[in-house]
Structure 1
């Protein structure tokens, strides 16, 4: 994709409120990191009260994925998850707008030798990430240490899309449209690293049903297809917000061995097993507000209540 370009259209009055919000966020992001995280917790508490539909989706996901927890334990996890989601807004600003030297002080990276080895051997890498609430921080911090591209879905608001892409591409080599399969394969075959997250529900057309937390989940087959056609390694990548408030730990895990395997179903199952394992490490930091089990196998009932219009 071409680099984002500013357009005079962005000065139209319809965008003035968004400009005001972005300007305020930029000013607030000048505060110290620990203050921003406290503000994030406060924002998350407010969102818990006001974002009723998203709260219900997240609560339903926790009920489906952690049936072994008591109702009180799931409620505590839900509240902590909203606190983590509130922090995301300020982490987004930090990742996009902090100077590189200041941003680097927040992160440590473990396992980068797996990427270095692939580079030495001329192997492309699918850097398999997840939609944790810390996603922007993970991409920003790793992007300053390792040249890589990101898969990208344009935002519906063109001004926000411009700001988001501009912020991300300060840290990345560039972004690839989610539907630009040819472009992704070209990069992988040339030995590039592509940051890619396969953990959301993209519908039945691109997916097969395999268990995730014991629930049949529509799981994209693209991970194994990209690995096979791009002759690339799949290297899992996670990041966590540290409990002591000092920043983030990024972990680049060993490549998936013998991947892709004998069938897409077996590959999707392996991916979901890794996803589940990674989420269980820090469930409060995962993006539970996404309707992960929206698409159901034929004949099975819906798992979420119908949205009110």
Structure 2
């Protein structure tokens, strides 16, 4: 947050009741009301809002369509458009699912399952931390909630610029995650991994080549972060792929957590080879539920000299 030195995460300040924040308070009450609606109503609202966002957010729509074109060349133009539209619907569904996780968690009862928990348990039995390599899923914090039904996850987060909004989100997430680690708090992240914590970490966005290398993602060269290599070297933590997704009929959805075996020899000697391996893991995850990923982010925005422009 821009005023991070003035405000402590999760702490209430009397300044938050001033008129400049009333709009946020009203919005929060409205969102809490949405969380108690039946899923059938939430689903219909998410569909309407998702279709509206797809039509009105032209720049995001173009990015999502372009990402799907280059990552799924086997799809027809009609399939690309249909799946891009579904990305926006899934994002709106994820908002409602997150509201349910925050304010009405009983809704998830008997809807969640997990596969591969033994891989995380093995690392913890060896007194290792676990860096859970995942994605920016449209499920948002609902994914964290379903994970929390089976183990204690920590999360790396980027604080909100608005201090009231940051406090409210921080407090809601505190019901899900044992620890929330500021993305700038590298010491805290290292400490928690050394203490054997399981931390959800998403190395799937383009932050340029100062923080990464070029490596293929769905066969297309993409700037791929390498910070997790340093974390793994310093903490001796296990690199464990984590994925969660919605499946079944959307009118009566189920949710699954998939934990895969720890990556052998990670980090290795070559950072590009490691980036290729991690990108391949993410590719395989996304193919399970392609539209439950935030494709409206510009995954291929960094194009060094000699590389074809994507957008």
How high is the TM-score relative to the length of structure 1? 0.93
Counterpart of 1:291 (choices 289, 298, 306) is: 298
Q: Distance in 2 between matches of 1:141 and 1:60?
A: 31
| 3-state SS of 1:248 partner | strand
Q: 1:261·1:267 contact (CA, 8 Å) conserved in 2?
A: yes
Deviation at 1:295, TM superposition (A): 1.3
1:96 aligns with 2:91: no
- In the TM superposition, structure 1's runs of 4+ consecutive aligned residues that sit over 6 Å from their partners are none
Aligned residue number for residue 227 of structure 1: 232
Unaligned runs of 5+ in 2: none
Q: 1:144·1:172 contact (CA, 8 Å) conserved in 2?
A: no
Aligned residue number for residue 196 of structure 2: 191
Deviation at 1:196, TM superposition (A): 0.6
1:32 aligns with 2:41: no
Alpha-carbon spacing, 1:114–1:189, altered in 2? closer, same or farther (3 Å): same
| 3-state SS of 2:241 partner | strand
Deviation at 1:91, TM superposition (A): 1.4
Post-superposition Cα deviations, 1:59-117, rounded to whole Å, max 9, x if no partner, equal 11111211221111111111211211111221121122224x44343321221122222
Post-superposition Cα deviations, 1:36-68, rounded to whole Å, max 9, x if no partner, equal 223212211111122111111111111121122
Aligned residue number for residue 248 of structure 1: 255
Counterpart of 1:84 (choices 83, 87, 90) is: 90
Q: 1:43·1:87 contact (CA, 8 Å) conserved in 2?
A: no
Q: 2:12·2:167 contact (CA, 8 Å) conserved in 1?
A: yes
Q: 1:154·1:161 contact (CA, 8 Å) conserved in 2?
A: yes
Aligned residue number for residue 160 of structure 1: 165
Q: 2:241·2:261 contact (CA, 8 Å) conserved in 1?
A: yes
Deviation at 1:243, TM superposition (A): 2.6
1:239 aligns with 2:244: yes
Once structures 1 and 2 are overlaid, which stretch shifts more, 31-40 or 212-221? 31-40
Once structures 1 and 2 are overlaid, which stretch shifts more, 60-69 or 10-19? 10-19
Aligned residue number for residue 20 of structure 2: 14
Counterpart of 1:46 (choices 52, 75, 89) is: 52
| 3-state SS of 1:78 partner | helix
| 3-state SS of 1:151 partner | strand
Deviation at 1:229, TM superposition (A): 1.1
> CA RMSD, aligned part only?
1.7
Q: Distance in 2 between matches of 1:34 and 1:106?
A: 15
Deviation at 1:258, TM superposition (A): 2.0
The alignment covers a number of residue pairs equal to 303
